[in-house]
Chain A
């Protein structure tokens, strides 16, 4: 039987299973052969020893983008995920969503964070066998910050002085920051998009990195096939011989592929799908409390949100508990209009805001906006939150007309012109999030929040190397955001992943990336490749 025949048969079996599930309410799924497979997997699940071999298949959704392999200018989340497999960085995310050293064995900053000295580990190699040196770090840094490349992430490391990156020895680099641009969370900023690549790197014809897998075949918009990098810097990792990243256009078909056995792992399920995993022998739901924040952006440069009373009124209109229940299907925790709850500088002592329609109406009356009718712009992902919030606003006498726009428009230059829009972000460290979101160096400040005192505190805080020294500064910043900022943050949401019983080495985290740590995963039914 050819592979094609087998694949077609597997597909038909899966399609029949899903179709049957529709008709029978899913009750009769999982007969015969599949039950046997699930049983074997359950037995193997008791064996925690990683096995080498096999092909891990990872299902992603990347919207309408066809994606690329660029280490520093990934197009869409699919490209970022592929980047995690192909490229290694100086830092990586820990399970607590804090940066930890990866290719770097040491990274030190001076007292005011204006200079970073980074030393590479010994004996690091790229996929092509070339040793990784300080020159590669310099090349990669220059490429990431190159205005001609125009990486959308270059502003995160905009403090780097491109003309003063020094090679101290073969493994050590000193990165100087521009005067007055001390930027403490360099690691946070760099950890997603700062892949180290050699000077002959090219994202199309020579996509070489030092990640756990090297690219073998890439069909944009469809799939990427990667093979194990034997000289990966983490001993004996990765475990699987191959990694296949398969793109899907919607959640329904991807779920069908997971339960049908066409993929082993999926990232970022929709909250509505959690019910599908109850008593499901084919796949389990993995919940990571990742603190992705969910909110709305209130544009301070637009009427009526230029009036702080209206901003406060909207924050009191939100029934956060109901939003969590309806929009996140309970997969989230209450937020108090502040981001980064896991940051050591987080201000947790502020009183939690709850819905108070009377107070909200009074504030709107005071501000002269008793009858409000506004346009709420939502991305497809934010549509449910927009619908639920519009209904809550209606109870306060505020009409919110929803305009759903595509992702390109949502993230385009018009974002700063909308009165109110849905907004969500990752749960990284406080200063990093401020730098991205509403701080003075943010390139995508949807709220147009600009506050002299806040900006001053931000610029001082990014030059404090000691966390304890940053705490009072960050607390005052958060106090300002809570009182007069432009974000209505109603929840911290979980990251939901689907995992086949045949996958080992995966567990929930406080980060977004539990399913992106490809080097850790192994297949319980793996047969090591036989050598000829």
Chain B
């Protein structure tokens, strides 16, 4: 990366951090991400070991008590975020990469590929995200990679629609026509000329997708279609311990709070970046 690019990025980050939503969203997201990613190395007990009584009360060795079958809740909370985080990031990332590629091709080709890609995207959009994922997962199983793949497929149409729309507008701009006249290869025009102009809306959309991915993946676990027991997972913890809410609430409240914070953080971040982009565009 050139020094000019680094300078531009630094200036952009500085501007972004002036938005309170960005500051709050970034801080919340980073804290929860760190907790989730470092947590598995800090567990005081084996998160799958059966140690205490069922819904055992908090005590010195188990600060948040025990869950429905005697797992240490602190250890499960520390170990249970990694799966949600990597799956959410992978879901949003795959959807972003594949959706962007398809959207660019559709928006720039405007011949046979455009209607075909848009038609497929529309068909997929007709299914509510969660229903589509539930349908496939209930038929094919609960493997994490499969859940990620299906959830990302559910997100791809949204990215395709967004990128295609923006690409159609950009394709008729002077700098693209100039690149075409200079005989640049199509992939170079797409990647070098059009894609950089999509980064801000894509960043905003990535944040939104992350929030949705957190919601869908934890929702799947809550419904019993996500990560399979005995693995530690925040969504699964809510599902497993919901019956003990009135006996030992920590096993539900803490994972719920962390899921909510992660979703809120990514959402605020996306919102802040979106507002900043809109303001810059207005100028």
Contact = CB atoms under 8 A, between A and B. Distances in A.
Given A384-B68, A387-B230, A404 B142 contact: yes
Interface of B is mostly: loop
Nearest to B249: A22
Given A275-B247, A386-B229, A387-B229, A250 B69 contact: no
B229 A383 contact: yes
Nearest to A385: B69
Contacts of B228: 401-404
Nearest to A403: B228
Q: Taking chain A's interface residues, is the majority helix, strand, or loop, or is none over half, making it mixed?
A: helix
A404 B226 CA distance: 10
Given A21-B246, A272-B247, A402 B230 contact: yes
Nearest to A392: B50
A251 B239 CA distance: 12
Interface in B233-260: 240, 242-247, 249
A226 B103 CA distance: 59
A270 interface: yes
Contacts of B10: none
A387 B228 CA distance: 10
Contact of A404 (B229, B243, B244, B249): B229
Interface stretch (A125-133, A322-330, A461-469): A322-330
B253 to A, nearest CB: 9
A406 B141 CA distance: 11
Given A391-B50, A403-B142, A273 B229 contact: no
Given A252-B245, A387-B229, 19 more contacts: A22-B245, A250-B242, A250-B243, A270-B243, A272-B55, A272-B243, A272-B247, A275-B247, A325-B54, A387-B230, A388-B50, A388-B69, A391-B48, A401-B228, A402-B228, A404-B142, A404-B228, A404-B229, A406-B224
Interface string A266-281: 0000101101100000
A390 interface: yes
B49 interface: yes
B70 A326 contact: yes
Contacts of B49: 391
Interface string A403-418: 1101001000000000
Interface string B57-98: 000000000001110000000000000000000000000000
A16 to B, nearest CB: 14
A26 B142 contact: no
18 contacts: A22-B246, A22-B249, A250-B243, A252-B242, A272-B244, A272-B247, A273-B243, A326-B50, A326-B54, A380-B224, A383-B240, A384-B68, A387-B69, A390-B230, A391-B49, A391-B230, A401-B228, A402-B229
A319 to B, nearest CB: 10
A383 B69 CA distance: 11
B146 to A, nearest CB: 12
A275 B249 contact: no
A277 to B, nearest CB: 11
Contacts of B69: 326-327, 384, 387-388
A250, A383, A403 interface centre (most CB from chain B within 10 Å): A383
A26 to B, nearest CB: 6
Nearest to B247: A275
B5 to A, nearest CB: 47
Contacts of A404: 142, 224, 228-229
Contacts of A380: 224
A50 to B, nearest CB: 33
A391 B246 CA distance: 26
Contacts of A391: 48-50, 230
A492 B246 CA distance: 27
4 A-B pairs with the lowest CB-CB distances in the bound complex, closest first: A387-B230, A387-B229, A275-B247, A272-B243
A384 B229 CA distance: 9
Contact of A403 (B138, B141, B242, B247): B141
Contacts of A327: 69
A379 B246 CA distance: 24
Contacts of A26: 246
Contacts of A276: 246-247
Of listed B49, B244, B246, B249, residue having the most chain A CB within 10 A: B246
Contacts of B240: 383
A270 B246 CA distance: 13
Interface in A322-371: 322, 325-327, 329
